[in-house]
Amino acid sequence: MKGCDRDWLKRRLMGGALFMLIAFAVLGARLFYLQVIQGEDFRRLSKNNCIRLKSVEASRGLIYDRNGVLLVDNRPSFDLSIVPKDAVPVDQTLEILSDFTQIPVVEMKARIDASKGLSKYTPILLEKGITRDQLAVVEAHSFDLPGVLVSVEPRRNYIFNKSSAHLLGYLGQINCDELETGKYPGVRGGDSIGRSGAEKVFEDHLRGQRGGRQVEVDASGRLVRVINTVDSVPGKNIFLTIDNKLQQIAENMLQDKAGAVVAMDPSNGDILVMASSPSFDQNDFIGGISSKKWKKLLADPDRPMSNKCIQGEYPPASTYKILTAIAGLEEGVVDLNTRHYCSGQYKFGNRIYRCWKRWGHGELDLLGAIEKSCDIYFYKVGEALGVDTLAQYANGCGLGKVTGIELEHERPGLIPTSVWKKRRYGVAWQPGETLSIAIGQGFDLVTPLQMAVFTAAIGNGGTLYRPRILKAIKTTDNEIIEIKKPEITGGLPAGKKTLDIVRKGLLDVVQGDRGTARGIRIKGVEIAGKTGTAQVFSLKKKDRDNDGQLDYRLRDHAWFVCYAPAENPMIALSILIEHGEHGSSTAAPVAGAIVRAYLEEKGIIETTKQAGEEDHV
Amino acid sequence: MFDRRLVECFDWGLLILTLLVSAVGLIVLYSAVTAGGVGETHVLFKKQVVWMGAGFAIMFASLLVHYKYLDKASVAIYCVCVLLLVMVLFFGKNVGGSRRWLALGPFTMQPSELMKVSLIIMISSVYSGIVTEQGLGFRDLVKPLFVLSLPFLLIVKQPDLGTALLLLFLVACLTLFVRVQKRVFLTCALLGAAAVPLVWFVLKDYQKARILTFLNPDRDPLGAGYHIIQSKIAIGSGMIFGKGFLHGTQNALAFLPEQHTDFILSVLAEEWGLAGCLFLLFLYFFLLLWGLNISYSCRNTFGSILAFGVTIMIFWQIFINVGMVMGLMPVVGVPLPLISYGGSSVITNMAGIGILMNISMRRFAST
């Protein structure tokens, strides 16, 4: 290979050298400018490290109910911090500060020691949420307190204390692992993020973007001027589907009880009420919950931290008879004219299966059996269907699987099949067990939410909606970002004829002369529903005390599901009261109150003069 | 066969320059990591010493092989580097929103760094075959453009705009060096100018914002803008003779971001002042002239172009990095050769200097 022409190469390289020389001259000139001409100024600035970054918190989005009632907002909280480098001498400053605020020096020192390794210019938090009095005194003596800062931070505030706690959720400080996932852009250590409920699920919408300021400060850390500001972007506001008025009614009625209330709009899946009792105080979680409180919450046998609407799995009891009826009608094992005799007991194999009505219902047709909730009738329907057919229908009705609501940790419940039992217990399915399943006892488990969705589908003519708690997202300027469209997840495995029969039966439960829930009738509107009493486990005589009273923990769970108005439902409800004994006596009245309030709100029925006044038809 | 003349012709001058720059680098890095108050203080320093050692070892080992083999192996080296870049996109370690690092056991490496040298070898190999006195025509540019576009796009995807643009500069400089026909040059210039608004039209808003911030750091006063201000304060406050070794306050307080990597010059400027900075710039300038001289004294076209390419690579890194910390240039992740902390960067630059030595000591050898 021949080298290229020497002169040519020399010219090219000279060009290159000249170019580099010019470039270096530029760099040198710039250095001279910065270090010599402006050197003095920069030296002065570096003395106190005058240019600092101050972060500006973004306020978290607000949460409203469907009618625009504010449920969660932010309140200003005044935090006391200190910049060690400016607060010279630190010990003396702390002494003075302690005199003014009564915060023990030891506590403050501990905070400073805990942040060793940070730059001496980083403000260290001494006390969160100081009182107005402390604030006033610190502000007044700011000249005696160099390096002491008071910053205003927005803090989450749950307006209706303890209300909707499971649904709204709470905040907690982000941990290192979460920070490293990169899922939380702009979030720094010490920031709070949604830990459960809507606060967690809609975190990305609610969280704003932190802003900041470049500021120049003097030698004791006081602000001289703001050089540059990046405004924080507030989070977006969220409108839930909840109707706070109904929610309050539900929660009031659940007081001193453990249980769950779910109300849903049958025409679109909007969750109108989601109450779980007992509840907890979300405000306790702000800034970290004390371990004592946390332990107490976890140790409570009534499980205040669990959202029973989506996590409570209970035997559906007699409410399941709706499903057994649907399956029986569709499969042709029963029709409108099928009659069975109930003597109060039914011998199957070598066992006796009882009806809840000890002396029996006599002869019944299907509508009568639903209205009076006869167990024997449905034993026979279940027996004819078999467990696996029942399970097929149950799955088609959305039972035994999650509904797909936005909230986390939803439980699927359980619909047993013969295959499942073989796998789980290694023994074959007993035909007798099918009888228990047919009336919703035994292995069957459902959540109150599943029952609400199922009941709503019966009321609306067979459409299963995905339940939802988010109605809309708006910016702080009230610009709508997103309005959720109803989502249909399927249809009930039942024809119109079947549904008409079932709906008639459910109507009789409330409106019929012998209906098990006839006590909750409301003037001017027809309600259709079903009661249920779920056995906690089979009782023995000795569990009752002298008065014939049963120990609370052994009492049955009470169910009530309903929709109203019966012809064109606007609300569907599912209510479970743990150890409430009878659906008709404890669960149904809650439904009555909510239906009444909602339909009054909608103008379907006239407003009653006094709350609590009974209307008897 | 081992030629005695190789030893006689060994380029001591280049070695001494390299050692001097490395020594400056280690002194400054020591300051940068010691005062930072971070728990990883000496670990980084020790690591860098190891990297430097490895870099010199690679440099000397490479001298045993005649550089003409680089011409033959250019495609293979290039393909390996492209493959590594593809791997980064799939298995790379995500740091601060970009995937640039590949984990190889205990080490992490940045394939985009290695690509710099690899691309220079590849382009030199292409041009050495087609260089003419009249300059290159349009058709001659198709191949280099293709060679550039692959790594360019892969690195933009990481995203690492700084390194991608550096590659573009390198290829442009090499192309200008071997000369193009006047009409080709004018057409390219016009096309380039026309492409700018077109590209702008295609970009998404956040990408536009990123580029605007890149051109004007003040748009991002909490990020790049703040870094530049702090960096300028550090540099300026060094004044003529600096605050003295380990006496830099800006750096001591961890006020500077990336003070041991991209912004390391501000530590040097603060502690050693204008005197220290100019000393380093003179060393660099000598090193670059040395490289150009090696290019001139080489009797082989491929060697000449390659030596020029390595020199221009070192030059651009210096110019962009120094310009950046002084607020003359956009904030991009281009390290300062042999000064910034970083294994891949050290190895890349040492390999480049090894190539220069290789060409230098074989300047009389028959090919």
Q: Please state, in angstroms and as integers, the Cα–Cα distance from residue A18 to each residue in A26, A323, B175, B352, following that order.
A: 13, 90, 17, 22
Q: Do A214 and B221 touch (CB under 8 A)?
A: yes
Distance from the B190 Cα atom to the nearest Cα atom in chain A, whole angstroms: 22
Q: Do A212 and A256 fall within a single domain?
A: no
pLDDT bracket for residue A477 (50, 70, 90)? confident
Helix or strand or coil: residue B344? helix
CA distance B95 to chain A (A): 9
Q: How many CB atoms within 10 Å of residue A87?
A: 24
Any idea what the CATH number is for the domain that residue A214 is in?
A: 3.90.1310.10
Residues facing residue A582 across a β-bridge: none
| Residue B36 confidence (pLDDT) | 47
Q: What is the pLDDT of residues B220-272, one digit of tens each?
A: 777 777 778 888 888 998 889 988 887 777 654 455 556 677 888 988 999 99
Of A217, A240, A263, the position where a domain reaches its end is A240
Is some CB atom of chain B closer than 8 A to the CB atom of A209?
A: no
B238 neighbourhood in chain A, CB within 8 Å: 35, 39
Position A162 pLDDT exceeds 50: yes
**A149 plus A127 within the same structural domain:** yes
Whether the CB of B133 is below 8 Å from some CB of chain A: the reply is yes
Nearest-angstrom CA–CA distance, A203 and A3: 67
Characterize the bridge pairing of strands A63-64 and A237-240: parallel
Q: Among B37, B64, B44, B103, which residue's Cα sits nearest to residue B250?
A: B37
Q: What is the pLDDT of residues A118-132, one digit of tens each?
A: 666 677 888 888 888
A129 lies in the same domain as A272: no
Query: Do residues A86 and A49 touch, judged by C-beta distance below 8 A?
Result: no
What CATH code is carried by the domain that includes residue A327?
3.40.710.10
The verdict on a CB contact (< 8 Å) between A31 and B274 is yes
Q: pLDDT tens digits for A235-277?
A: 999 999 999 999 999 999 999 899 999 999 999 999 999 999 8
Query: For B96-160, where are the alpha helices, taking DSSP H only?
Result: 111-130, 142-156
Between chains, do B250 and A49 touch, taking CB under 8 Å as contact? yes
A53 and A187 in a single domain? The answer is: yes
Give B216's contacts (C-beta < 8 A, 6+ positions apart): none
Question: What is the mean predicted confidence (pLDDT) over A505-523?
Answer: 88
Residue A615 maps to a domain: no
Answer yes or no: pTM beyond 0.85: no
Dihedral angle of Cα A71, A72, A74, A80, to the nearest 10 degrees: 120
Window 96-125 of A, Cβ < 8 Å to B: 117, 119-121
- Whether residue A151 is contained in a domain is answered as yes
Query: Which chain B residue has the Cα nearest residue A27?
Result: B323
Distance from the A139 Cα atom to the nearest Cα atom in chain B, whole angstroms: 27
Peptide bond into B335 cis (omega under 30): no
**Partner-chain contact A12 B177, CB within 8 Å:** yes
A25 domain residue, yes or no: no
- CA distances from residue A220 to A47, A146, A148, A564, B252 in whole angstroms, order as listed: 12, 5, 9, 69, 19
| Residues spanned by the domain of A312 | 244-279+307-540+548-602
A45 and B319 within 8 Å at the Cβ level: the answer is: no
**How far does B328 lie from chain A, in Å, by closest CA?**
8
Cα A492 to Cα A494: distance, rounded to the nearest angstrom: 5
Task: Give the 3-state secondary structure of residue A464.
Answer: strand
DSSP assignment of A259-303: EEEEEE-TTT-BEEEEEEES---GGGGTT---HHHHHHHHH-TT-
Identify any residues that bridge with A362 across adjacent strands, giving them in sequence order. Answer: A342
* Interface contact A228, partner B, CB < 8 A: yes
Instruction: State how far the Cα of A297 lies from the Cα of A300, in Å rounded to an integer.
Output: 6
Q: How many CB atoms lie within 10 A of CB B187?
A: 14
Q: Cβ of A5 under 8 Å from any chain B Cβ?
A: yes
Give a yes or no: residue A38 inside a domain. no
Q: Is A131 on the interface with B (CB under 8 A)?
A: no
Contact B230 A51 (CB under 8 A): yes
Does A7 reside within a domain? no
Percent of chain B whose pLDDT exceeds 90: 42
Quick one: three-class SS letters along A38-52? CHHHHHHHHHHCCEE
The contacts of residue A510 (CB under 8 Å, 6+ apart) are A517, A518, A520, A521, A526, A527, A528, A529, A562
| Residue A569: cis peptide before it, omega within 30 degrees of 0 | no
Instruction: Write out chain A residues lying below 8 Å of B274, CB-based.
Output: 31-32, 35-36
Please tell me whether residues A230 and A255 are part of one structural domain.
no
Q: Does B41 touch chain A (CB under 8 A)?
A: no
The answer to whether residues A357 and A437 belong to one domain is: yes
Say if residue A515 is in the same domain as residue A448: yes
Residues 163-182 of A with CB under 8 A from B: 182
Check B296 against A9: CB less than 8 A apart: yes
- Is A342 in contact with A364 (CB distance < 8 Å)? yes
pLDDT for A527 equals 93
Instruction: Tell me which of A155, A189, A207 is where a domain ends.
Output: A155
Q: Are strands A340-342 and A362-364 parallel, antiparallel or unpaired?
A: antiparallel
Of A2, A5, A120, the CB nearest to B253: A120
Whether A36 and B254 lie within 8 Å, measured CB to CB: no
Sign of CA dihedral A314, A315, A320, A323: positive
Is A318 an active-site residue?
Answer: yes
Q: Is residue A5 part of a domain?
A: no
Cβ of A1 within 8 Å of Cβ of B304? The answer is no
Whether residue A136 sits in one domain with residue A252: no
What is the rounded distance in angstroms from the CA atom of residue A346 to the CA atom of residue A380? 9
- List the single residue in B178, B274, B322 with the smallest CB-CB distance to A35: B274
Mean pLDDT within A391-408? 94
- In sequence order, what DSSP letters do the residues of A92-156 get, joined into one string? HHHHHHHHHH---HHHHHHHHHHTTTS-TTS-EEEESS--HHHHHHHHHTGGGSTTEEEEEEEEE
Taking the Cβ of residue A543 and every Cβ of chain B, the question of whether any pair is shorter than 8 Å is answered with no
CB atoms under 10 Å from CB of A512, counted, come to: 19
**Does one domain contain both A234 and A268?**
no
Beta-sheet pairing, A463-465 with A488-491: antiparallel
Q: Hey, which residues 154-183 in chain B have their CB within 8 Å of chain A?
A: 177-179
- Token code pair at residue B30: 């020591």
What's the CA angle centered on A137, arms A133 and A141, to 5 degrees? 170
Inform me whether the C-beta atom of residue A11 falls under 8 Å from chain B C-beta atoms. Answer: no
Q: Which amino acid belongs to residue B44?
A: L
Residue B166 Cα to chain centre, angstroms: 8
Q: For residue A363, give the 3-state DSSP assignment.
A: strand
Cα B29 from Cα B340, distance rounded (Å)? 7
Count of structural domains, chain A = 3
CB contact (8 A) between residue B315 and residue A32: no
Burial of A388 (0-12, 13-18, 19+ CB in 10 A): middle
Q: Is B322 on the interface with A (CB under 8 A)?
A: yes
DSSP string, A431-454: HHHHHHHHTT-TT-BB-HHHHHHH
Asked if A328 and A356 sit in the same domain, the reply is yes
Kindly give, in sequence order, each residue whose CB lies less than 8 Å from that of residue A35, ignoring residues fewer than 6 positions away: A42, B235, B236, B238, B239, B240, B269, B273, B274, B277
Three-state secondary-structure class, residue A312: coil
Residue A217 lies in a domain: yes
| Chain B nearest C-alpha distance from A231 (Å) | 11
Q: Which of A59, A276, A277, A318 is catalytic?
A: A318
A361 lies in a domain?
Answer: yes
Q: pLDDT tens digits, residue range A176-206?
A: 777 766 677 777 777 888 989 999 999 999 9
pLDDT of res. A613: 44
Backbone dihedral region of B206: left (phi > 0), alpha (psi from -120 to 50 degrees) or beta?
alpha
CB contact (8 A) between residue B296 and residue A26: no
Residue A116, CA distances (Å) to A47, A50, A438 in order = 22, 22, 66
β partners of residue A522: A525
Using 50, 70 and 90 to split pLDDT, how confident is the model at A541? very low
Question: pLDDT tens digits for A321-376?
Answer: 999 999 999 999 999 999 999 999 998 888 889 898 888 999 999 999 999 999 99
Query: Which of A187, A218, A240 delimits the end of a domain?
Result: A240
What SS3 class is residue A615?
coil
CB proximity B326 to A under 8 Å: yes
A352 touches chain B (CB under 8 A): no
Nearest residue in A to B255, CA atom: A119
When the pLDDT of each residue in chain B is averaged and rounded to a whole number, the result is: 85
Asked whether residue A353 falls in the same domain as residue A456, the answer is yes
Which of A209-223, A310-324, A547-561, B22-36 has the largest mean confidence? A310-324
Provide the H-helix boundaries in chain B: 4-8, 12-34, 41-63, 68-91, 111-130, 142-156, 161-178, 182-202, 205-215, 224-237, 249-252, 264-297, 301-325, 343-361
Contact B35, B248 (CB under 8 A): yes
3 state DSSP class of B106: coil
Q: Are residues A189 and A140 in the same domain?
A: no
C-beta atoms of A119 and B255 within 8 A: yes
Six token digits for residue A48: 């106190």
A215 interfaces chain B, CB cutoff of 8 Å:
no
Mean pLDDT score of chain A: 86
